[in-house]
Amino acid sequence: MNRKEFFARVGFGAAAVLLPACVAGLATSCSSDGTSSAPPSGVDFTVDVSSGTLATNGGFMVSQGIVIAKTLAGDFIAVSAACTHEGTSVNYNSSGNKFVCPNHGAQFSSTGAVTLGPATRSLTQYKTALSGSTLRIYA
């Protein structure tokens, strides 16, 4: 066996061993059950709302897998960012005070409840507490 044949066989062998693992990884990352994209339990973090999108009523941002929005009335709300249909990150629609998935049009209320499919499960809602210009988001 020459050098070229050796590397061809080693390369083919490695591909044969790694291919099933790669395919399995792709299949689980594309699953539509929504469980793989849920934010971690034990959520507790803070964000500065003195500047940026959360300084303005109607603004929103995504941090640590959670959409944080400031309603037109000036209240803060937070829900899991991943749509429960296929995991696409939802956006906040301030005029309707709702979360909308740009992928297939699912809509959720300000508390994360499904108001329009294809999603069938609610987004996880998180608590918020404002202290000065620091907003705490927690479970």
Per-residue pLDDT tens for 90-123?
999 999 999 999 999 999 999 999 999 999 999 9
Does residue 35 lie within any of the structural domains? no
- Amino acid letter, 36: S
pTM exceeding 0.85:
no
Q: What integer pLDDT is reported at residue 42 of this predicted model?
A: 84
Q: Which domain holds residue 77?
A: 44-138
5 and 62 in a common domain:
no
In DSSP terms, 80 is beta-bridged to: 66
Total of domains in the chain: 2
In DSSP terms, 125 is beta-bridged to: 79
Whichever domain contains 131, its CATH number is: 2.102.10.10
Does residue 56 lie within any of the structural domains? yes
Nearest C-alpha neighbor of 61 from the set 138, 139, 137, 121: 137
Q: What integer pLDDT is reported at residue 87 of this predicted model?
A: 87
54 and 1 in a common domain:
no
69 and 21 in a common domain:
no
105 and 77 in a common domain:
yes
Model confidence over 43-85: pLDDT tens digits? 999 999 999 999 999 999 999 999 999 999 999 999 999 999 9
